[in-house]
Amino acid sequence: MIKYVPGMTSVVIEEIPDRVTLAVDISNCQGNCVGCHSPFLKTDVGDPLTEEVIDALVAANFGVDCFLFLGEGRDLPRLLALAEHVRSKGLLVALYSGRTGVEEEIYAAFDYVKVGPYIEKYGPLNSRTTNQRLYRVHHGADGTFSKEDITARFWRRGIDPNVAIKA
């Protein structure tokens, strides 16, 4: 079972580049980040996230084109099934994981995957020194996929002319 925290969902425009994203906090976090901004998400809190709940959340947030799981819980088969449901509704699907790496099945099921625990001395995703990475996953018609590291899209232009930033 995957659980989410009602009342903690929000529409965001900075978590996934070029997307209007519905971000949903998932409990039972597998990460163990020092300085975690939401330590309560390490516990088994919230309500079951079902296909019906996803449909209702999307319907209540007109204009979103991406659904972001902020965390992955501890039930991989269920997470993958929910990702497939989101995709079947015509939305892109994203995952933020606090782990250093995730299973290949996750990359195969998601369009965006962020990996890496938050480590204060390296900074968050928008810091050039971050240890975290956001990948855009490109899916082939034959079931194959490739990962493109798009982390640099979060870095502000003009700070370091030696770093190329994709437009």
Q: Could you tell me what percent of the chain has a pLDDT over 90?
A: 72
Check: CB of residue 98 under 8 Å from CB of residue 29.
yes
At residue 151, the pLDDT reads: 96
92 pLDDT above the threshold of 80: yes
Domain residue ranges of the chain, discontinuous segments joined by +:
3-154
Q: Count, in order, helices (H) and strands (E) of the chain.
A: 3, 9
Reply yes or no on whether the pLDDT at 167 is more than 50.
no
Query: Tell me, what DSSP letter sits at residue 35?
Result: T
Name the more confident of 132 and 166: 132
Cβ burial, residue 33 (10 Å; 0-12/13-18/19+): middle
Q: What is the pLDDT of residues 120-154, one digit of tens each?
A: 899 889 999 999 999 999 999 998 999 999 999 99
Mean pLDDT on 40-58: 91
Determine how β-strand 66-70 pairs with β-strand 3-4.
unpaired
Average pLDDT for 65-88: 96
Spatial separation of the C-alpha atoms in residues 161 and 137, rounded to whole Å: 27
pTM recorded for the entire structure: 0.89
Per-residue pLDDT for 160 more than 50? Answer: no
